[in-house]
Amino acid sequence: MTTEALIPQVTGPASALVVCLLIGLAVYKLMKDVFAPMIQSGINRHLDQVDGMMKAHSEEHNKILESLDRVAERINCPHQVH
């Protein structure tokens, strides 16, 4: 190929490909450095809330069982509630 035929190829499709690759790398870096940590922190906050709800539910469950046992003792029920 001569230089006159090579210059349009280098400045046209090849440069567009390079620009697309650079844009792709920039998007990847943005996703990796900004969006992934942001999403991860949001998920961690949500899971912490779920853990708190489960702990509260477990405590309530134990209190209910203790109350039912006390009621069963007061009415002289021969069977335990749980």
**Angle 29-31-37 from CA coordinates, rounded to 5°:** 110
Task: Give CB contacts under 8 A, 24+ apart, made by 39-47.
Answer: none
Which tens digits make up the pLDDT trace of 2-37?
888 878 877 888 888 889 999 999 999 999 999 999
Q: Which pLDDT band holds residue 78 (cuts at 50, 70, 90)?
A: low
Structure token pair of residue 13: 């499709």
Query: Is the pLDDT confidence value at 81 over 60?
Result: no
Which tens digits make up the pLDDT trace of 41-62?
999 999 999 999 999 999 999 9
